[in-house]
């Protein structure tokens, strides 16, 4: 089994810059200089919500074309380079892109990605062998914890969770699917996972073995939320009971948001119209609907609950015309 050195904490530098050291260079979309339509880029996991968003924006009279494929990094690069480009991208990828860290292709041009609206959370899930005597992550003393393959977003998030642990542990650097197989076989103690629940691999593993999900203890939470893209506010700070087979309890965790972002040079009126269409037709966006920012009334003005939570990049000026924060 691949292992890291036994130690009390991993080096933070292994995470931040490498978080999105995911390979690839984005392309496509309309070059900066004028556009009369939006191009919404999405990955396989976001197809349904992307189609629903495009449908309501098209119905509002703003042409929106869907384009599938590309990693989060590639799609971020596309948004950064092309007026009219939009994409659904995790908040940490957006943050590192904004900083020009770990994504060489956008260094020096890190100012063109803007937020429209946060969509739904990606919880961090700590899975352990069912026979390991632990309820919280800080009780994994002596364990081997999988932190994902180096240079991946999972690896960065895992390091943010294990860095504050004042325990002895070893690390493995495996893909999630292999880590879960080894936990089922009793060859690995725990792994960190990230993704919208239920994560299919965890469901499959829980159906074939006794597993447990570990909560994050307060010290880990307080340290990790210093990263502005990690949040623990309700309802984002927990995984409900019975999401996974045999897990009949609520798990306390952290999440990062999936954001709808757009190139900053996209015309203000176009983005304002798209944002208004999103909120005016929120009920037609059924995927992850429970997490979408809610419209509330305050002093006669529209404002949107949780519309800036976990967002590490500025609002596009068109979206800001529609979204008025409380």
pLDDT in tens, 90-122: 998 888 777 765 555 455 455 689 999 989 899
Average pLDDT on 84-90 reads 93
For residue 13, tell me if it sits in a domain.
no
Q: Is residue 278 located within the same domain as residue 195?
A: no
> Looking at residue 239, which CATH number applies to its domain?
3.40.190.10
Q: Is residue 112 located within the same domain as residue 127?
A: no
Q: Is residue 162 located within the same domain as residue 284?
A: no
Q: Which of 287, 318, 309, 299 is nearest to 49 (CA)?
A: 287
pLDDT of the residue at 57: 96
Q: What percent of the chain has pLDDT over 70?
A: 80
Least confident of 112-126, 222-236, 259-273: 222-236
Per-residue pLDDT band for 7 (boundaries 50, 70, 90) equals very low
Question: What CA–CA distance (Å, rounded) separates 12 from 16?
Answer: 7
For residue 177, tell me if it sits in a domain.
yes
For residue 10, tell me if it sits in a domain.
no
Q: Is residue 252 located within the same domain as residue 317?
A: no
HSE-up of residue 47 (Cα within 13 Å, Cβ side): 5
Q: In this structure, are residues 306 and 231 in contact, taking their beta carbons and an 8 Å threshold? A: no
Q: Looking at the chain, how many residues does it have? A: 326
pLDDT of the residue at 295: 59
Q: Is residue 186 located within the same domain as residue 65?
A: no
Q: Is residue 64 located within the same domain as residue 178?
A: no
Per-residue pLDDT band for 314 (boundaries 50, 70, 90) equals confident
Q: Is residue 238 located within the same domain as residue 271?
A: no
Can you spell out the DSSP letters for 78-108? HHHHEETEEEEEEHHHHHHHHHT-S-GGGTT
Higher pLDDT, 236 or 31: 236
Q: Which domain holds residue 64?
A: 30-120+258-322
Longest CA pairwise span in the chain (Å):
61
For residue 132, tell me if it sits in a domain.
yes
Average pLDDT on 182-203 reads 95
pTM above 0.85, yes or no: no
Question: What CA–CA distance (Å, rounded) separates 191 from 121?
Answer: 19
Q: Is residue 150 located within the same domain as residue 197?
A: yes
Q: Which of 12, 41, 19, 22 is nearest to 96 (CA)?
A: 19
Going from the C-alpha of 134 to that of each of 125, 160, 222, 253, the distances in angstroms are 14, 19, 20, 15
pLDDT of the residue at 101: 59
Q: Is residue 84 located within the same domain as residue 126?
A: no
List of residues 6+ apart from 139 with CB closer than 8 A: 133, 167, 214
**What pairing do the DSSP bridges indicate for beta strands 85-90 and 113-129?**
unpaired
For residue 84, tell me if it sits in a domain.
yes
Least confident of 93-97, 142-146, 189-193, 265-269: 93-97
Per-residue pLDDT band for 6 (boundaries 50, 70, 90) equals very low
| Domain final position from 235, 256, 277 | 256
Number of structural domains found in the chain: 2
Average pLDDT on 213-225 reads 92
Q: Is residue 171 located within the same domain as residue 215?
A: yes
**Residue written as token pair 């960190």:** 192
Q: Which of 36, 30, 35, 49 is nearest to 88 (CA)?
A: 49
For residue 83, tell me if it sits in a domain.
yes
pLDDT in tens, 8-29: 333 333 333 333 333 333 344 4
Q: Which of 127, 236, 235 is nearest to 180 (CA)?
A: 127
| Domain final position from 209, 230, 256 | 256
For residue 204, tell me if it sits in a domain.
yes
Q: Is residue 127 located within the same domain as residue 108?
A: no
Question: What CA–CA distance (Å, rounded) separates 140 from 137?
Answer: 6
């Amino acid at each position: 089994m691949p292992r890291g050195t036994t130690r009390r904490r991993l080096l933070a530098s292994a995470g931040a810059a490498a978080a999105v050291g995911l390979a690839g260079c984005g392309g496509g979309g309309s070059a900066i200089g004028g556009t009369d339509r939006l191009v919404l880029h999405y990955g396989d996991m976001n197809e349904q919500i992307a189609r629903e968003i495009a449908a309501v924006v098209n119905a509002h009279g703003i042409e929106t074309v869907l384009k599938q494929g590309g990693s989060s990094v590639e799609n971020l690069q596309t948004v950064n380079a092309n007026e009219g480009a939009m994409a659904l991208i995790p908040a940490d990828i957006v943050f590192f892109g904004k900083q020009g860290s770990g994504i060489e292709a956008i260094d020096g041009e890190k100012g063109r990605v803007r937020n429209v609206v946060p969509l739904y959370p990606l919880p961090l899930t700590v899975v352990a062998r069912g026979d390991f005597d632990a309820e919280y992550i800080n009780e994994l003393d002596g364990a081997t914890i999988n932190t994902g393959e180096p240079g991946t977003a999972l690896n960065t998030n895992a390091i943010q969770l294990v860095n504050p642990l004042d325990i002895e542990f070893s690390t493995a650097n495996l893909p999630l699917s292999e880590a879960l197989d080894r936990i089922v076989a009793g060859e690995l103690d725990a792994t960190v996972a990230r993704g919208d629940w239920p994560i299919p691999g965890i469901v499959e593993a829980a159906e074939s073995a006794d597993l447990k999900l570990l909560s994050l203890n307060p010290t880990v939470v307080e340290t990790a939320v210093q990263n502005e893209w990690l949040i623990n506010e309700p309802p984002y700070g927990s995984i409900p009971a019975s999401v996974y087979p045999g897990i009949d309890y609520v798990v306390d965790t952290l999440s990062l948001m999936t954001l709808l972002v757009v190139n900053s040079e996209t015309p203000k009126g176009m983005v304002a119209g798209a944002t208004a269409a999103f909120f005016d037709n929120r009920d037609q966006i059924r995927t992850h609907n429970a997490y979408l920012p809610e419209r509330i009334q305050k002093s006669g003005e529209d404002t949107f609950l949780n519309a800036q939570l976990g967002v590490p990049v500025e609002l596009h000026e068109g979206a800001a015309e529609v979204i008025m924060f409380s």
